[in-house]
Amino acid sequence: MSNAGMSIGIPDLEPKGLWNHFYRLMQIPRPSGHEAAVREYVAGVAKNLGLQSMVDNAGNVIIRKPATPGMENRRGVILQAHLDMVPQKTAGTVHDFEKDPIDAVIDGEWVHARGTTLGADNGIGIAAALDVLSSDTLCHGPLEALFTANEEAGMTGALGLNPGMLNGEILLNLDSEDEGELFVGCAGGLDGTIRFSYSSVSVPPDCTGVNIMVTGLRGGHSGMDINLGRGNANRIMNRILHMGVDRYDVHLASIDGGSLRNAIPRESTVLLAVPSARMEWFLEELQTMAASISSELMQADPGLRIEAEPVEVPEMVMDDEVVKRLVETVSACPDGVCGMSVEMNGLVETSNNLARVKSDGSTVSVECLLRSSTKAGMQKLSDMIDSVAREAGSLAFFDHGYPGWQPDPASPILKCMSDIYRGLFGKIPEIRAVHAGLECGIIGAICPGLDMISFGPTIRHPHSPDEKVNVASVQKFRDFLVATLEGIPE
């Protein structure tokens, strides 16, 4: 069912060209790995404008626009954004991210979706680049737009970019989330996974079935929000399992916690078989534990709910020895902030998101996303997780790594954009690095010598159903982008 009536007004926001493209993007489902339709839309815009475009083997779209007459000697600029969005929704929201449009609303100074992620990360960046390409009044040098695939689930588009595909000398990444700040560095990332194979065994006699559910957490971006002290549903559920296994001989039939590596896990569910004679005591201690954890997270995550629901007794449960190893592994696995930067005050240097704990009938996996702005920090963290796995009689597997982006204080585009921002808004922009994975590190390694800056409007709570974008900041972001393109030197 179309949500056009529900989202009326969004295409009329200023700047209209940008918001109109963003509104159209909201109608196109584009979770990671399902970007064919948005690729077709972006390429279609280029075709309608008579611009040169191509799709490479990694699913990236590259569009080229000639310079405004008289500006052919300006340095070439690459506008870069990613095509996919993070698919997250609240427990009560019915939404198929592969089929349904985003239902968004203007709420005062913000635009947000109803019960799902909005896709402003990085839909606003796509819309801004398309707005620039569509303009016949904006003055600029040679332009390229690079729309990368699958950024949120492994950055495979950026990693698959072939050297020599881009002609520009300056890359403007449109994927940051704080207007008035210029980002000059980011963390690298690495996927880590620990797997346990298990045998299913019959449930012991005289057991009762119960579902335990952890819900209501805020979640959020596993890099940008990792320092906010929010609850991790997998960590909370593991505390419950540790108590149940250790003191009440509970048996685990299945577990499903978290959803995406780059989102702080908001929910977890387990199916247990509990000895009937101990069920009352188990539930009493669970209630006490729930009150204690809620008190711990009262400031950071006041919506936490821990609930127990009686269900039919499962026919089979996991081998108890594997469950003990799983609980010990999750207990020992690093989670959250692991180290702070010495060079940049207040910047997280190294972190781990204990993102996913899931069983499938024969294997239970613990999935993490490691981040660090230094090679040494990443190595230290991966060694710790490897040691945790080995202690539990398993192995850790690491893949889909991507490099960080080291700040260049002598960057010419940094000075140019700082001066332009001060001229527009009367203040100097803040210069920052970010504890998140931007594609600048990957693209810069493939295309050495690029001068790079990342910037964007103000977006809050990306990677969660609370995601929202500030309307006024989008106008400032667009004005700054236009002025920057007009001011690029020769």
- Catalytic residue positions? 84, 151
Euclidean distance between the first and the last CA atom of the chain, given in angstroms as a whole number: 50
* 222 and 353 Cβ atoms separated by less than 8 Å: yes
Q: 248 by DSSP, 3-state: which?
A: helix
Measured distance CA(37)–CA(356) in Å, rounded: 28
Strand segments, DSSP code E, in 244-393 are 251-257, 268-275, 305-311, 316-318, 336-340, 348-359, 363-372
* 314 and 218 Cβ atoms separated by less than 8 Å: no
Strand segments, DSSP code E, in 125-283 are 143-148, 170-173, 181-186, 188-197, 200-202, 207-215, 251-257, 268-275
> Rg of the chain over CA atoms, in angstroms?
24
**Is the peptide bond prior to 234 cis by the omega test (within 30 degrees of 0)?**
no
* 357 and 328 Cβ atoms separated by less than 8 Å: no
Comparing C-alpha atoms, which of 396, 353, 350 is closest to residue 376?
Answer: 350
Residue 419, C-beta contacts closer than 8 angstroms, at least 6 positions apart = none
- The DSSP element (H or E) to which 452 belongs, if any, is strand 451-454
Under DSSP, the state recorded for 174 is -
- HSE, CB side, 13 Å, CA atoms: give it for residue 305: 10
* 18 and 127 Cβ atoms separated by less than 8 Å: yes
Comparing C-alpha atoms, which of 263, 251, 269 is closest to residue 322?
Answer: 251
Measured distance CA(452)–CA(413) in Å, rounded: 7
Dihedral (CA of 272, 243, 226, 355) sign: negative
The residue type at 310: P
